[in-house]
Structure 1
């Protein structure tokens, strides 16, 4: 027999952000933050996941770009002819990005 009706608590966005920020501080125990706020730890982890995901989407990822030395057009044309003779490709307009340490991206 149920003698009481439990109601769902509603937390404001500011309260959620405050608790998530407190749980993300270095050396903080997430369980203790949740317990002090009267929450189940899984609820706090859900808020962390939602707010961190939202924050990542709003920040544009920028990376530094280094432009190599300019190569005279004649050398570029010779390099292209040599590369074409060595490897035939069906698609043209491929861009190669050398990431260093043997890694390369081809688009």
Structure 2
């Protein structure tokens, strides 16, 4: 006679929980996303622990990376255009200054000075990192 053991995993929901969507605050989403980034944890493990869909966590991660989970609406920053500190010499081509820089003041008050020829993707990553810090 063989000993067969049947193990099944199932979750029991209370009758009142069926059909109701949960709402998560931005603070809860940020906490869950940051937990998913810590260590060598897989996103699916963190999603299962908090009872969310595995497909929802990457959406929250993307919003977190874009800075959309802070709860505040997107705001415009003031832009000030200053005159050139040194006029270009007569006859010099306009793009000749390869060391030209631009200063960006972020919403959190930090300032970032970069070369004008910086790649857009690198600038995007820098701004995201500085806004989160």
* Structure 2 length-normalised TM: 0.41
Larger helix proportion of the pair: 1
Bigger Cα Rg: 1
Q: Which one has more relative contact order, counting CA pairs under 8 Å at least 6 apart?
A: 2
TM-score, length-scaled by structure 1 = 0.50
